[in-house]
Structure 1
Amino acid sequence: MAQHIDPMREYADARRVVLQLDVRRPPRPLPERVCLTTDDLYDPDFGPDDLIARIAEGPGTAV
């Protein structure tokens, strides 16, 4: 199952939805892509703070 998950595509889909939300204030800029792997998503120690930090870093090179 994990081989069918593409974190970059999932992020792109989520980014598109977030940018289409009707909010009262402009959203913070989101990078076009981020460096996420399925290992990151399955790592129990990789929590919300880690995800937010990874998004803030912007695009990178997947490990």
Structure 2
Amino acid sequence: MDRYKPLRARTITLVGLMGVGKSSVGRRLANALDMPFRDADNEVEAAAGRTIPEIFADMGEAAFREGER
């Protein structure tokens, strides 16, 4: 029996301060549970077509935070 099957039908979200290891832990957790991993920063960059530093410089922090939402 696959004891992690119920988890794979859900989304697991890691929340914490910048630099505490959410991405690192998230990748390891996704790998251990055989689930896809998505990093919010990467998703924001892909949607905006620019890097986070570019978003901050060109549009400000408020625009970045809106993109995170």
Normalized per residue, the structure richer in helix is 2
TM, length-normalised to structure 2? 0.30
Larger Rg: 2
Task: Report the TM-score, using the length of structure 1 for normalisation.
Answer: 0.32
Relative contact order higher in (CA < 8 Å, ≥ 6 apart): 1
